[in-house]
Amino acid sequence: MACRRARRIRTPSPAALARIGLCPLGCVEHATEVGLLDEAECERARVARDPAYDGRFFTGCRTTGIYCRPVCPVRPAHPRNVCFFPSAAAAEAAGFRPCLRCRPETAPFCPAWLGSRATVERAARLIADEGALDGDGATVEMLAARVGVGARHLARLFAKHLGATPSRVAKTARIQRAKRLLDVTDRPMTEIALLAGFRSLRRFNAVFTEVYDRSPTEIRRTRRPTRQVAQS
């Protein structure tokens, strides 16, 4: 039996971290605030697997190239090998791929935002729940108008509070929808691609493989047999 080719670990480069506001060491004090949490608080929550912090930040592990929820059941990595992100989109923008154990796509949406954060929350919910940036002709300008701000200001707010652009958040939302559908349904790939917000199966396969370093078909094959699959 042939051996399976080992997967290449894509460790984020300093340039990738810098693009989303993190220093090359991934220090939170040099980055966008992680949901008003400092590095020490994130570290305590990560080690304790505190469910109260689920969805409020994500942890990237430099040695594996994977990012996780604070409640991940996998043994916590050494503190020197981790960095924190305010959103799944920010972690993916830095080159990390989602954990298949804690499934970041199932993390709760963090509602504890005030002031300008409320604008970002509204826009992010429109992206995640309504696919506001998925359809033909959908633009950041149109999204910004729906939440009552200009496109440039919305981009600044997303960078400040989520560490990613609206387009990047939309890309992550599409992938997360697709991953949930792969996990709980037996729908054909073409249908999953369209339901998730992709305009073509080819684009869906390319983006999914970029994020997970595995194709959608490979991910479906690893689905646990005991998991109840919803009927289409």
Question: Tell me, what's the pLDDT at 110?
Answer: 58
- Angle, CA 97 vertex, CA 162 and CA 197 arms, to 5°: 70
Question: Tell me, what's the pLDDT at 201?
Answer: 96
Q: Could you give phi then psi for residue 203, rounded to 5 degrees?
A: -65, -40
Question: Tell me, what's the pLDDT at 118?
Answer: 84
Catalytic residue among 42, 61, 68, 83: 68
Question: Tell me, what's the pLDDT at 135?
Answer: 87
Q: 163 CB contacts (<8 Å, ≥6 apart)? A: 20, 21, 22, 31, 32, 85, 86, 87, 89, 90, 93
Catalytic residue among 42, 61, 83, 102: 102
Catalytic: 42? Answer: no
Catalytic residue among 42, 61, 83, 99: 99
Tens-level pLDDT at each residue, the chain (232 residues): 333 333 343 444 445 444 444 333 333 333 344 555 788 999 999 999 999 999 999 999 999 999 999 999 999 999 999 999 999 999 999 999 999 999 999 998 754 444 577 899 899 999 999 999 998 899 999 999 999 999 999 999 999 889 999 999 999 999 999 999 999 999 999 999 999 999 999 999 999 999 999 999 999 988 765 444 444 4
Question: Tell me, what's the pLDDT at 14?
Answer: 45
Catalytic: 68? Answer: yes
Report d(CA 138, CA 18) in Å as an integer: 28
Catalytic residue among 42, 61, 72, 83: 72
Domains observed in the chain: 14-106 (3.40.10.10), 113-225 (1.10.10.60)
Catalytic: 61? Answer: no
